Amino acid sequence: MKRKNDISRLENAVRKYYENPNKCLYCGKILEIKLDSGERPSDVKRKKFCSHSHAAIYNNHKYPKRQKDVDLYLCHRCGNEKSRGATYCQKCKSEITLQSVWKKSIDEYLLNGNSRTKYSAIRRWAKKYLSFLGIEKKCSLCGYDTAVDVCHIKPIGDFLPDGLMGEVNDLANLLYLCPNHHVELHMGLVNESKIDIIIKKQINKYKNKIPV
The 10s digit of each residue's pLDDT in 104-137 is 999 999 988 777 789 999 999 999 999 999 999 9
CA-to-CA dists, residue 174 to 28, 39, 47, 84, angstroms: 72, 79, 72, 35
Domain boundary among 36, 62, 88: 62
Contacts of 106 (CB under 8 A, 6+ apart): 122, 156, 159, 160, 161, 162, 163, 164, 165, 167, 168
Domain boundary among 46, 62, 78: 62
What's the pLDDT band for 6 if we cut at 50, 70, 90? low
Average pLDDT, rounded, for the chain: 89
| Residue 122 and residue 184 in one domain | yes
What's the CA angle centered on 92, arms 77 and 84, to 5 degrees? 75
**pLDDT(3) > 80:** no
pLDDT value for 116: 75
pLDDT value for 211: 82
**pLDDT(71) > 70:** no
Average pLDDT over residues 67-87: 78
Domain count, the chain: 2
Average pLDDT over residues 57-86: 77
Amino acid at 167: E
| Residue 203 and residue 130 in one domain | yes
Give this prediction's pTM.
Answer: 0.65
Structural domain span for residue 19: 2-62
| Residue 126 and residue 182 in one domain | yes
Spatial separation of the C-alpha atoms in residues 193 and 183, rounded to whole Å? 17
Closest Cα to residue 148, out of 159, 138, 157? 138
Amino acid at 53: S
